[in-house]
A = this chain, B = another copy of it.
């Protein structure tokens, strides 16, 4: 990890200039999971959570949050996502729900933050909808799985 070349001398926060970057097709995939009691997962899968359909609601919340990433993360550039998907699957062994999100655009900056924000807000929505029966849930292992496009090329998590 070499020293960064574009550091502002004063260390002040700023939105970095991306106007010289190429417009390329970029895609990112991120994941995360909500670990919960087996009874909680069962309740969600049976559709019996107090606030209603957990998985469908969390999916919508994640997609909408991806579109608001630059509103939430101070130095993210606003950008025009061409696609967002959020998938949520039960993992009985965890036990819990596993969330994956994909974001895509043709533009000058990567979309990792959009995919990560979709995952985070989907996980928070799951927590919200099931917290009446299980306050001890934990959101775990939110990370980027893969990214493609841009100067730095493709990247995959180990």
Contact = CB atoms under 8 A, between A and B. Distances in A.
Interface in A111-158: 112-113, 116-117, 120-121, 123-125, 127-129, 131-144, 147, 155, 157-158
Interface in A12-57: 12-19, 25, 32, 37, 39-40, 43, 47-53, 56-57
Given A78-B67, A127-B113, A84 B50 contact: no
Q: How many copies does the complex hold?
A: 6
Contact of A63 (B19, B75, B108): B75
Interface of A: 1, 3-4, 6-8, 11-19, 25, 32, 37, 39-40, 43, 47-53, 56-57, 59-61, 63-65, 67-68, 70-87, 104-108, 112-113, 116-117, 120-121, 123-125, 127-129, 131-144, 147, 155, 157-158
